[in-house]
Each structure stands twice: as C-alpha cells, then as structure tokens.
C-alpha cells in the first residue's frame, strides 16, 4: 500500500498540506519521497509559461527483499507513483519480487515506442491507447500516476474494479491535483475532491495546456481493453469482460458438494489466495508476529477464506481473525445493568466466536488468534471526524456506519484468544500484520444479498439476472476506493480474493444455476446425494464449498451487512436512513 500525490500548476509548485501529508504517510510508513518536473512552453498568448508537476509518494513495503522508494524515476527521466500489486504481467512469469520496477519498465517501453507521423493530439491519443493496453496486461489491483517525460504526458488511473483509492480535483486557479486521500489545499474546500472513475486510463497533454482557468488542463480518457474470448495471446488483456452469462440451461441439477462448479470455485479461490498470501515479506521479529489477518465477522465469505488460507499458508504461521463489535447506546442500554458483556451480544461477535471454534476443530494444527475488538461509544465518537475525513468524498450515514467498522477492525487492537472460549484473563493485543484479507465481492458474484432473492421471487431468473447485472456493473463504481482509504490509514493493505481476475472471469461465464440455488426443484430425503443440497439458494456454490471443507455450520449462515452485524448502524438516532447525508 502506498500514498500518491501529484499536482500540476502554472502558478507555483504545489505540495501536500500538513494534514494531507500526515494521511499519506499513514498509508506508507516505510518510505517517502518527492520530486518535481518543470516544463517550459509558450502559451497561447505567445508568452512563456512554466508548468510545475510535483510528486509525493509514501510506501508500505510488502514484497521483495528491500524497499523500493517512490516516486520512481527511470533512466529516461519518467516518473512513476505506483500503489498496487502486480501479481503477474501477461506473457511473463508471476512477479514474486517487488513490482514497482517491473511496472515502470513496462510503461517506459511504451513511452519510447515511435509513433507514425500524425498531429500532436492524434499522437498523444495513440500513445495513451498503447499505455492502456500495457496496463491491461497487469493482473492485480492498482492506482498510479505516470509522467512520460519524453512526450510530456501525464497519465493516471485505477484498475477496472477501483480496488485502490485515487481522487482528483481542480482548484479555482486551474491547478490539477491527483491524490490517494482527500485533503485541504491552502484552506480550500476539501469536498471538491471526486473519485477517479475506474473506467479507463486518464491523461493530460502537458504541452497543450491553455491559459483559461476553466480548461487549463484538459483530462482525456482511453477506455479499458477487456480480454477477448478464447485463448489468450502473450501480452493480451487480462481484464475479464463484465458481461454476465444470461443463459438458463433447459435442465440443471441441484448444487451440492460434488458439483463441478464447487470444484472450480475451490481451485480458483486457492489460486487467488496463493497470489495474495504466499509472498508477503516476513521479517524476523521477537516475539514472532502474525503476517496475515482476515477481517472476520464469522460469516460465510470470510470463513471460507480463512479455511482455504489454512491449506496454503505455512502451518507454523499464526493467522489473526479481526472481529469488531461496537457499543451502540440504542441497543445496549437494556444491558447496562446486567452482567453480560454487551459486545459479546453483537451478531458478528456471536458468529465470529462460533466460526473460530469451527476453524479450531477443522484445522487443529493452526494457531488462530481471535482478536475481539470492542469499541466503546465514546471512542467511536472521538474518531468520528477522522473517519469522515478519510471516507471523503463519500458522506452518507451508511458510509459512516460501514467505514467506522472497517476503521476499527483494521486498526487491530483488541483482546486476543487462541481458543474458542472467552479470554480470561483478558490479554490486550495489537496485530502486527500488514495484509488483511476481505471477503468482499462474493455477494455480488454469487447472489448473496436479500434483494437477489426478492428479485427472483418477483420476476424469476430474468429478475435475478437483472439484479446481478446491476451489482456487477457497479463493482468498479462502488466503494472500494473509500474502503481503501479507511483501511490503509493504519499502514495495512486489504486484499480481495473474490475479485481475482481469473475467478471473476469464471463467475461471469458460468450460468446462474451454477452459482445460486434459486429455482431448484424440491427434493425428498431419498433423492438427495447429500445434505448440502438443502442449503439456502443465495451463494449456494460457496455454501457447498464451505460444507465440503468441513465448515457445515458456516455453510448455513445468513447474510448480514457489516453495519448491522457490528452494530455501527443508527448509533445516535434510530430514525436516520442510510442514504441521508451527514450534517
């Protein structure tokens, strides 16, 4: 995880203010650096004009044997600010070491490729297309800013799902700012920031900037290059098409643990997890510390990840399970005089304890540290403004509820236990991990929300497919950038195994009957191959996988939104709606 800042101005070099600097350095505590490029040109008025391009980067180093500082300056003079994980570049072996230099070399090679004779604007657009094609070869999440010094073009963008944060704003005096975090500049309104859309590669021709403040830096876009069907040629796009298979087989069998789809999902999840956990740098520490944690509600998605991570992560390594519960005055006031710990009554704490106990039984050789993160109401209020600042430009009550849960869960301070029993005596624990696994994405891919069941009940498979289409289409426009800003504040990186490119491609191509159990016919006890056939239809392929892996109780767990499971929703009043803007 890294922090990125870039500013382009004709008035003066612009650097992050003290607060923005603090937020950037929280994201990347291992290294920081700055650089500046100055461009001289003749403005449309005929007068000489200077353009200042400033870069500031911070680094959380997770791969390789050492820290590669940023901004990264190549031998050609080009500058890269990279916040991502390139697990692989198409046509090459998987990247096991630091990826910053590999990405810089890839982009530099495209920047140096000669263009056919054509107008400046056409040549710049062709170069941008070549850059977009190069980035389409990268497997993994990213946000980046890249200055092509040979051609004076500034590129910036996010991966097709927007898994890393990148924000943009134009100041009243015409400067262009791109940053991982929202922050005030010289006291100006921070709400002017907006998310860089995860729909392509953006670029600015620095030689063609005008003098009109409203259009001083014109931002252009090249759409993503999605993978074509069929065999992939070396160097082709790895971005899967987000076009959902809407065909309904005329006949289909009930999903159970023997179904081919369950086997396919298992293999794809294992491959995805290997990419995300096998090359985490593990410095020697005394006493030994964990290097992997899971944002753990005890629900289906995160527990399946924990169970499969056990199979591929060294058994002598501890895995932390971060479980957060909040004191909600509206809910807990009835328990204030009792002897019961109100945090232990939170739905996610109950399922978390139960799933932890199942993991201990099924994976006895692993040391699982269950971290019970209890957040008093006073502490929630004390950090409220910081959470609001981090999640900007998002600003609804639901944003705050979700981000509060992620903020304290990723902070990783709680009471630890390595058994399923309540921890007595209490042992305070701060996780030392830098990598957090999240189950985000499973509901969208496999029909896990209640609205999916509602859509099927109302309009059959057509209604269900329409709802899934909406969710998949919104994946890159939802809240991954927001969540990234909140989680990364603690110098940790969230990784999303369900959003792996290969897994996503399979989920898009598989018929809905291989993912959900909606529409399955009734079956008698005598007709069943195994009891997994009776699991509820939402995310049934994942439920069957949990059953196959020995997590039968987890396979039966119902979906519950984080803000309700951790009880961050409607803390101050029960009459607010999630869509209500913060005052």
* pLDDT on residue 341: 85
Q: In Å, how far are 39, 435, 464, 537 from 245, measured between CA atoms? A: 49, 33, 12, 18
**Considering the domain boundaries, does residue 238 fall inside one?**
no
DSSP string, 173-219: TS-EEEESS---STT--GGG-EEPPSSEEEEEETTS--S-GGGSS--
* pLDDT on residue 348: 94
Phi, psi of 225 (to 5 degrees): -105, 110
d(CA 214, CA 223): 24
Same domain, 364 and 318: yes
Same domain, 64 and 174: yes
d(CA 331, CA 381): 16
**Considering the domain boundaries, does residue 577 fall inside one?**
no
Tokens 């996010």 identify what position? Answer: 158
> What's the pLDDT tens digit per position in 481-539?
999 999 999 999 999 999 999 999 999 999 999 999 998 877 656 566 778 888 999 99
Neighbours of 349 (CB within 10 A): 26
Neighbours of 175 (CB within 10 A): 20
| CB contact at 8 A, 33 and 17 | no
**Considering the domain boundaries, does residue 235 fall inside one?**
no
**Considering the domain boundaries, does residue 233 fall inside one?**
no
Same domain, 215 and 289: no
* pLDDT on residue 90: 83
* pLDDT on residue 353: 96
**Considering the domain boundaries, does residue 229 fall inside one?**
no
Per DSSP, 123 falls in state: H
Tokens representing residue 569 in the block: 């929703």
Same domain, 203 and 268: no
Query: Which are the contacts of 102, defined by CB distance < 8 A and separation ≥ 6?
Result: 86, 89, 95
- How many domains would you assign to the chain? 2
Low-confidence ranges of the chain (pLDDT < 50): 185-187, 191, 211-214, 420, 423-424
Same domain, 143 and 270: no
Same domain, 487 and 399: yes
* pLDDT on residue 476: 78
Residue 274: closest CA among 135, 68, 96, 59: 96
pTM of this structure: 0.92
**Peptide bond connecting 287 to the previous residue in cis, omega within 30 degrees of 0:** yes
**Considering the domain boundaries, does residue 197 fall inside one?**
yes
Domain carrying residue 192: 2-223
Query: Which are the contacts of 228, defined by CB distance < 8 A and separation ≥ 6?
Result: 236, 237
Query: Which are the contacts of 317, defined by CB distance < 8 A and separation ≥ 6?
Result: 282, 290, 291, 292
d(CA 41, CA 75): 23
Three-class secondary structure of residue 552 per DSSP: helix
Same domain, 283 and 197: no
* pLDDT on residue 281: 77
- Among residues 204, 223, 242, the one where a domain terminates is 223
* pLDDT on residue 561: 60
- Residue 147: strand pairing partners: 79, 154
| CB contact at 8 A, 305 and 273 | yes
Q: How many residues does the chain have?
A: 583
Sign of CA dihedral 13, 17, 18, 21: negative
| CB contact at 8 A, 257 and 241 | no
* pLDDT on residue 37: 96
> What's the pLDDT tens digit per position in 422-454?
544 568 999 999 999 999 999 999 999 999 999
Per DSSP, 442 falls in state: H
Residue 272: closest CA among 60, 77, 461, 499: 499
Which residues are designated catalytic?
A: 2
**Considering the domain boundaries, does residue 345 fall inside one?**
yes
Same domain, 442 and 533: yes
Q: What is the largest CA-CA distance in the chain?
A: 87
Same domain, 92 and 181: yes
Same domain, 403 and 331: yes
d(CA 384, CA 499): 29
Q: Residue 266 belongs to a domain with what CATH number?
A: 3.40.50.620
167-170 and 194-195 beta bridge pairing: antiparallel
**Considering the domain boundaries, does residue 442 fall inside one?**
yes
Same domain, 31 and 98: yes
Phi, psi of 144 (to 5 degrees): -150, 155
Element (DSSP H or E) covering residue 4 = strand 2-9
Q: Residue 206 belongs to a domain with what CATH number?
A: 3.60.20.10
Same domain, 207 and 289: no
d(CA 328, CA 572): 8
Three-class secondary structure of residue 496 per DSSP: coil
| C-alpha 32 chain-centroid distance | 23
């Amino acid at each position: 995880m890294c922090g990125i800042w870039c500013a382009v101005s004709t008035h003066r070099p612009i650097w992050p203010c003290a607060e923005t600097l603090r937020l950037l350095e929280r994201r990347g505590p291992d290294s920081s650096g700055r650089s500046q490029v100055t461009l001289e040109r003749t403005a449309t008025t005929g007068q000489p004009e200077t353009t200042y391009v400033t870069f500031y980067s911070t680094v959380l180093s997770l791969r390789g044997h050492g820290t590669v500082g940023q901004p990264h300056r190549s031998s050609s003079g080009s500058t890269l600010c990279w916040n991502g994980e390139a697990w692989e570049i198409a046509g090459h072996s998987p990247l096991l070491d630091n990826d910053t230099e590999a990405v810089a070399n890839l982009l530099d090679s495209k920047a140096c490729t000669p263009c056919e004779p054509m107008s400046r604007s056409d040549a710049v657009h062709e170069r941008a297309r070549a850059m977009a094609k190069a980035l389409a070869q990268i497997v993994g999440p990213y946000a980046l800013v890249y200055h092509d010094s040979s051609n004076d073009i500034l590129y910036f963008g996010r991966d097709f799902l927007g898994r890393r944060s990148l924000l943009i704003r134009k100041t009243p005096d015409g400067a262009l700012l791109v940053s991982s975090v929202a922050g005030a500049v010289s006291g100006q309104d921070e709400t002017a920031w907006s998310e860089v859309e995860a729909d392509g590669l953006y670029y600015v021709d620095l030689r063609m900037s005008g003098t009109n403040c409203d259009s001083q830096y014109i931002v252009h876009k090249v759409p993503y290059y999605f993978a074509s069907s069929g065999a992939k040629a070396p160097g082709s796009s790895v971005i899967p098409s987000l076009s959902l298979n809407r065909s309904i087989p005329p006949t289909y069998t009930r999903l159970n643990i023997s179904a081919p789809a369950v086997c396919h999902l298992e293999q794809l999840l294992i491959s995805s997890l290997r990419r995300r956990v096998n090359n985490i740098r593990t410095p020697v520490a005394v006493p030994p510390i964990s290097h992997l944690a899971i944002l753990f509600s005890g629900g289906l998605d995160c527990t399946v990840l924990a169970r499969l991570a056990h199979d591929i992560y060294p058994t002598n390594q501890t895995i932390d399970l971060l479980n957060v519960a909040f004191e909600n005055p509206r809910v807990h006031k009835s328990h204030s005089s009792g002897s019961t710990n109100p945090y232990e009554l939170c739905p996610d704490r109950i399922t978390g304890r139960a799933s932890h106990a199942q993991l201990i039984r099924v994976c006895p050789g692993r040391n699982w540290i269950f971290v019970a993160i209890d957040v008093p109401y006073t502490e929630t209020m004390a950090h409220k403004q910081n959470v609001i600042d981090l999640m900007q430009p998002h600003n609804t009550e639901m944003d705050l509820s979700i981000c509060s849960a992620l903020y304290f869960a990723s902070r990783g301070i709680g009471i630890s236990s390595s058994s399923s029993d309540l921890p007595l005596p209490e042992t305070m624990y701060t996780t030392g991990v830098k990598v957090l696994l999240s189950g985000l994405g499973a509901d969208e891919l496999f029909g896990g929300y209640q609205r999916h069941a509602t859509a099927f009940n109302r309009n059959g498979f057509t209604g269900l497919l329409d709802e899934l289409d909406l969710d998949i289409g919104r994946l890159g426009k939802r809240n991954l950038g927001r969540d990234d800003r909140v989680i990364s504040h603690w110098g940790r990186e969230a990784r999303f195994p369900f959003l792996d490119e290969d897994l996503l491609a399979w989920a898009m191509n598989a018929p809905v009957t291989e993912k959900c159990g909606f529409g399955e016919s009734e079956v008698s006890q005598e007709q069943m191959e195994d009891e997994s056939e009776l699991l509820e239809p939402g995310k049934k392929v994942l439920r069957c996988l949990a059953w196959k892996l020995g997590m039968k109780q987890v396979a039966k767990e119902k979906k519950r939104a984080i803000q309700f499971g951790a009880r961050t929703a409607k803390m101050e009043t029960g009459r607010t709606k999630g869509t209500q803007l913060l005052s």
